[in-house]
Amino acid sequence: MSQKYPSFAAFYPYYLSEHQNPTCRRLHFVGSSLIIMLCLAVLVTQNWLWLVALPFLGYGFAWIGHFFFEHNKPATFTYPFYSFLGDWVMFKDILIGRIRF
């Protein structure tokens, strides 16, 4: 049985431990960056159909990182909400230099 985390603060160190491979982190970062760019493009063009690509960008890059570089199961399967939040906190931590890219 998987561990239950009482808070995101308790979960985040586990999340980071599942993202030790630099290529995996880079793929997460690229996927998150593409999500931001796609959302901005949708707002500018009003082409809402493009939103269909969001899960492919977000999960596609991340899962390639996990399956081929990190060699572990994405936390999304066990902790979907905390994992989603962890993606964006890790993105922010990479941007500000707290996590090595």
Alpha helices (H) along the chain: 8-17, 22-45, 54-64, 80-95
End-to-end CA distance of the chain: 32
Q: Is residue 39 part of a domain?
A: yes
pTM beyond 0.75: yes
Kindly report, residue by residue over 37-57, the tens digit of the pLDDT.
999 999 999 999 999 999 999
* Confidence at residue 50, expressed as pLDDT on a 0 to 100 scale: 96
State which residues form the domain around 65: 26-95
Q: Is residue 30 part of a domain?
A: yes
Q: Is residue 43 part of a domain?
A: yes
Q: Is residue 9 part of a domain?
A: no
When divided into structural domains, the chain yields a total of: 1
Q: Mean pLDDT over all residues of the chain?
A: 95
Q: Is residue 77 part of a domain?
A: yes
Q: Is residue 71 part of a domain?
A: yes
CA-based nearest residue to 99, from 34, 20, 30, 31: 20
**Local confidence pLDDT in tens for the 101 residues of the chain:** 468 999 999 999 999 999 999 999 999 999 999 999 999 999 999 999 999 999 999 899 999 999 999 999 999 999 999 999 999 999 999 999 999 88
Q: Is residue 70 part of a domain?
A: yes
Q: Which residue reads 């902790």 in tokens?
A: 79
